[in-house]
Amino acid sequence: MIDVLVVDDDFMVARIHRGFVERMDGFRVVGTAGTGEQAVAAVDEFRPDLVLLDLYLPDMFGLDVVTRLRAARHDCDILVISAAREAETVRRAVRYGAVNYLLKPFGFDELRTRLEQYAARRSWLRAAVVSEQSDVDRVLSRGGSHVTPAMPRGLSTETAELVERALRQNSGSLSAAECANQVGISRVSARRYLEHFSSTARAGVTLRYGAAGRPERRYSWVG
């Protein structure tokens, strides 16, 4: 379970964003904050894994909150959600270690994509074993050497790496539901990645017929 803190000075916007997060499997909102000081105090109290951070707060700029958190040795991740479109602000957010930057206003699907990317990257990094330079390179690039960099819109290399690994490690075939359980994403998302691998001839598809209903599509890695 990934614990999330929502920070936004507009309580209605914060409530909407909280509702978006709570619709996601594997995520839970542990608190909300409306100012920078409240955000720092909430991180102290709740120790979230991820902070959805607005930049325009009434008492300080959002990136100054990040500075305070790092000075206090908090290692929570930051996903910026802001109307700030200035290139320098985006560059600063990247330099401050933001895992993503989402422009307001946005819908549920846009946030869901970023949260799934974050969850996949976090899972991949937690499982990564570093024994040689190539392992270090993969960690720094937040992906893997087997995944084609150019992914269709809405798909991430981090999640594709996890789906690929699940297929490679399975001696037989996987359904979308089985893959979703192994990777920690929704069945619909798993199906999209599996179909992508199928369309690029990296996964084979077989049909398993049951007593009734549509046949089950099962996937195996081809490479």
CA angle 124–127–129, rounded 5-degree value = 115
Contacts with 199 (C-beta within 8 Å, 6 or more apart), sequence order: none
Q: What are the structural domain ranges in the chain?
A: 2-106, 142-221
Average pLDDT over residues 187-199: 91
Instruction: Tell me the pLDDT band of 21, cut-offs 50, 70 and 90.
Output: very high
Indicate the fold that domain 2-106 takes in CATH.
Answer: Rossmann fold (3.40.50)
Structure tokens at 1: 């379970």
CA distance to 36, 175, 176, per residue, from 171 (Å)? 50, 13, 16
The pTM score is 0.63
pLDDT band for position 140 (cuts 50, 70, 90): low
Q: What is the per-residue pLDDT across 143-176, written as a single tens digit (0 to 9) for each?
A: 433 334 456 778 888 888 899 889 988 888 999 9
pLDDT grade for 141, boundaries at 50, 70 and 90: low
218 closest CA partner among 209, 208, 210: 208
- pLDDT given for residue 128 in this prediction: 66
pLDDT digits (tens, 9 = 90+) for 88-119: 899 899 899 899 999 998 999 889 988 988 88
The yes-or-no answer to whether 2-106 and 142-221 have a common fold is no
pLDDT at 158: 80
Q: What's the burial of 134, exposed, middle or buried (CB within 10 Å: 0-12/13-18/19+)?
A: exposed
With a pLDDT cut of 70, the percent of the chain lying above it is 88
Domain 142-221: CATH architecture, name and number where available? Orthogonal Bundle (1.10)
